[in-house]
Amino acid sequence: MPPMPATAAVRVRRAELSDLDDLVALEESSFAPDRLSRAQYRRHLDSETATVLVASANHRRFLGTAVVFFRKGTHVARLYSIATHVEARGKGVGSALLDAAEHVARRRRCKVLRLEVRTDNDAAIRLYERLGYVRIGRYERYYGDGADAWRYEKRLG
C-alpha cells in the first residue's frame, strides 16, 4: 500500500460483512496475543452490544478499525480495540476512529468511554491523552504476554 497523504480526509463508517477479511488481517498483523478471531468479528458485526467501525480515505477502503462494546444497564462504553495500518499511522486515522467511537457511545446515551492500553504503547498513550482521556488505573499482567495495561477514560459531555 503506498503512503497515505497527511491531508487525506478520513471517513469512518460501521463495518459490514464485506470487511471481514480486512478486519481479521489487520487484527492478525496488529496484535500477537489477545486478538479477536474471525468468528468473534462476525458476531460483533451483527451485535446489539458492539459496534465495529472502519476508517477509509482517498479511495482506500480500509485503513483502520475500532471496536466498541456496550453493556446493558450502564452508561459506560468500552473501546475494546483500535488498530490502523502502519502506512496510515500519524495521519489522523486513529483520531477519526476515536471521534466516531465517542459519537456512537453518545448516541447510545453513554456518559463515559473507557479503554485499556499497554503501558509500553507510547504512541497510543500520547493520542489518548491529547484527545482528553485521563488515566484512572493500572492492570498488572493484563495482556496474554504478561504486559501491564493503563486504564483510561473520557467523559462524554
pTM value?
Answer: 0.88
Tens-of-pLDDT digits for all 157 residues of the chain? Answer: 444 444 468 999 999 999 999 898 888 877 766 778 888 889 999 899 999 999 998 777 789 999 999 998 899 999 999 988 888 788 889 999 999 999 999 999 999 999 999 999 999 999 999 999 999 999 999 988 898 999 999 999 8
Residue 55 near residue 84 (C-beta atoms within 8 A) = yes
Cα separation, 41 vs 24, whole angstroms: 8
Look up residue 10 and give its DSSP letter. P
Rounded to the nearest 5 degrees, what angle is found at the Cα of 101, between the Cα atoms of 74 and 97?
Answer: 160
SS3 (DSSP) at 114: strand
Q: Over the range 118-135, which residues count as b (16 or more CB within 10 Å of their CB) and which as e?
A: bbeeeebbebbeeeebee
Q: Which domains does the chain have, with CATH numbers?
A: 11-115 (3.40.630.30)
Cα separation, 108 vs 91, whole angstroms: 28
Task: State the pairing for strand pair 11-14/50-57.
Answer: antiparallel
SS3 (DSSP) at 75: coil
Residue owning grid cell 457511545: 105
